[in-house]
A and B are shown apart, each in its own frame.
Chain A
Amino acid sequence: MNRRDFLKTSLRTAGSIFISSSVFSGRIFSAEEAGHNYYDLAAVRNAEPERLFDEAIKALGGMSRFVKKGKTVLIKPNIGWNIEPQYAATTNPNLIKRIILHCKEAGASKIYVNDHPIFDWKTCYKISGIEKAAKDAGAIIVPSGSESYYHSTTIRRAKALKEAKLHEIFMSADTVINVPVLKHHFGSKMTCGLKNLIGTTWDMNAFHSAGLHESIADIATVRKINLTVVDAYCIVKRNGPRGGDFSDLLKLKSLIASPDIVAVDTAAAKLFGINPDAVDHIKFAADFKLGQSDLSKLRIKRIVL
């Protein structure tokens, strides 16, 4: 090994150590974006879902900040139920469509859409309107009806869920955009960005037996979630997560987006009307240093249209 090689190798090693340490400390974008003036979190209200997202992503620095040219993207909506989109138990299909179009514009090579519904996946994809929206926009629907798509993965930092079967696309996509819909939930009090990640696993019942809140935080440590977009256009206020009754709904016409999943859930909890400290999985995720639960430390762009 000559001197030049040695220098190269040591530089590379130092670089990778720096990158990996920054990933694990949760300071994900600091290195490459030090020079930019992006907001950490954008909250928009009083418009249709498409417009809400356009404004939010502009404030966060555009989709190209998250999606690089030629890379693959996984969009992870909530398609948990076989119920029509107007009941808001699943992510708004128009929003999904808009996000896909933004990804395309940013030059993504392949855009995947996947969730593991509680009911038969084909039915849920269809009834929720997300299959049509995604296909119209040119995304690839990723099936979730077979265990063969889910591979056993050890979760190193887990406190409750030491091992889980995770969908291959969740593990292999270059960018993950998490698009939950904000809802009440009997078990976890509310369901938003962190809770939505349950849909990347095969055995969803394991969460309940291992400890729901702990497991939700555990699963968020598996990989970087590049962007979380909360669909709060219409929320299920009571009897969630399925709802199914218009009297349970509240039209907020809002959207929150941020690369910081903990911040997004904290803000969403406040929007939902509960104290974020009372939602255990947000606390556990903050303990993992997955993000900032103190909103006063963040640069927030609030847009009222």
Chain B
Amino acid sequence: MKKIKIIRIIFSIFILALTLLFFFHKNIPGTAEHFYEKAAQFVINLQILPALLSLAFIYITAIVCITVISGRVICSAFCPLGIYNDLISRLGAKIRKNNFHYNQKINFLKYIILSAVIILSILGISAYTGLLEPFSIFGKISAYFFVPIFSNVENAFATVINKISGYSISHEDHSIDNLHYAIGFFFFIIITGLAFFRGRIFCYALCPSGAIFSLISKISLFNIRINKSKCVSCGKCESVCPSNAITENKITSECVLCLNCAGTCAKDAIKYRFAIPQIKNTKSSGEKTIIEGRKTFIKSALIITAGILTPRILASSGASKKIRAVPPGSVSIRNFKNSCTGCSLCVSRCPTGVLSPSLFENGIDSIMQPFMDYKKAYCLFECTSCSSVCPSGAIKKLKVKDKKSVKIGEADFSPDRCIVKIENKACGACAEICPTHAIKMNSPLEGHPFPFIEPELCIGCGACEYTCPAKPKAFIVKPLEIHGKAMLSAESSFPIEEDNSEEFPF
């Protein structure tokens, strides 16, 4: 079993690295998807809560089947946060000589969190799900904490390499501000600290996905099982179990198949093997605890629901609700708010950095959900990277061809702010950058050309707002609550004109 354990660890480190790499590199539109990107996307699609939110039936079925057949493999080998927890807990065990003791009560907490998450999803406030859901937490740590560090290290490395071999690695600036860096650091410290001191406490006590897997894995065909005839009750396995899953020679459904116990058992009594699962009635452990448990469950669920509803009520009662644009594929601001868990994968993959992390900018009920910040950049016409990576269905899949006519907002032109009018300077930056030719310039007989807009062609990409040199901006994009469809600028099919004259005009 020790060999399998080592293979398991190496494989999970590989999966973790793959996912991190996906966060580290922005998408380059127009290039073919690399194999590692496809693999990383597959791993991300295997995250159960985002899959449930996006109603991705194929993946949900796959996840359930995998767990029913082989136990909680996803937790140990495909959940990036779980793997990270595992590695840190291993480090903690090495350094602190952690000894784990079974604690039944704490395992119950995750079911309360799961029910809170279900209530949240029904109410359509997934932003708060994202504060509890493992992939979203992992995403926040990666996008806000690891990416800036990685980017700085890579740039420093590039500087050294470039001294020798000249521009073989390029510098890339990241777009994470200090506030979000601090938020990422906050999550990083909490997760790392918990794992270092308490093993996989996040997985067995807090994780709502863990709660789902725990329920399913009760009927798993293959699982870790103790051979009672060989076991001498030495208790070694319990002390090395970071998942709080071993008690009284029994393995509970908290087991994520880390294989620590199997590796440590001197009698070779613990094996990963097949058995028809039997769901036992555990009344023997006392009906009292169950009733008490139910009471705590109902109380806690009520408290959490109330805590979650408060921001929703506050947000809806807020007087001036300023809406921000959400990326193409979101269908509507409502859908985006309902489904986005703020994993920030789209923020990391966005090539221009227009998708920006938020805090409360979009309302209290959409904490940390990204939005389109046209002050920083604009949405690339040919790019669909956010829609192709979103695991939770907040940004639905779009083909590049269809994306080009998705209208997420409409640019509003204030002629009185335009520098052509105010300062009598030649400009035209807006018409130059507009990808749909919605902004055009008239050609007056005297003076400089002046912009005008054909709103039906505008898709709200924000290029004009971003590029406008006027202060305040002459172009401001007004986001649409429900995304529409823009007219496509008519492309004439004339052949290219040719001039074969044999003279020069000079």
Residues of A that sit less than 8 Å from B by CB: 43, 45-46, 82, 110, 112, 118-120, 122-123, 126-127, 140-143, 145-149, 185-189, 205-206, 208-209, 211-213, 234, 237, 239, 241-242, 244-247, 249-254, 266-267, 270-271, 273, 280, 295, 300, 302, 304
Contacts and interface: CB of A to CB of B under 8 A. Distances in A.
Classify the secondary structure of B's interface with A.
Answer: loop
Contacts of B470: 209
B28 interface: yes
Given A148-B155, A205-B469, 9 more contacts: A45-B501, A46-B500, A82-B29, A127-B30, A146-B155, A186-B428, A187-B449, A208-B425, A209-B419
Given A145-B172, A146-B172, A149-B171, A270 B437 contact: no
B433 interface: yes
Contacts, number: 147
A251 B419 contact: no
B287 interface: no
Contacts of B352: 119-120
A16 to B, nearest CB: 30
Contacts of B364: none
B497 interface: yes
B171 A146 contact: yes
22 contacts: A45-B502, A82-B30, A118-B432, A118-B433, A118-B467, A123-B351, A126-B30, A140-B166, A141-B167, A186-B428, A205-B429, A208-B469, A242-B432, A246-B493, A250-B497, A267-B504, A270-B504, A270-B505, A270-B506, A271-B505, A271-B506, A295-B506
A120 B28 contact: yes
Nearest to B502: A304
Contact of A245 (B428, B449, B492, B501): B492
B428 A43 contact: no
Given A187-B428, A247-B494, A251-B498, A142 B504 contact: no
Contacts of A252: 499
Interface of B: 28-31, 155, 166-167, 170-173, 351-352, 380-383, 419, 425-429, 431-433, 435, 437, 440-441, 449, 467, 469-471, 491-506
B429 A145 contact: no
A51 to B, nearest CB: 15
A280 to B, nearest CB: 7
A108 to B, nearest CB: 13
A253 B501 CA distance: 10
Given A146-B173, A147-B173, A273 B428 contact: no
A250 B505 contact: no
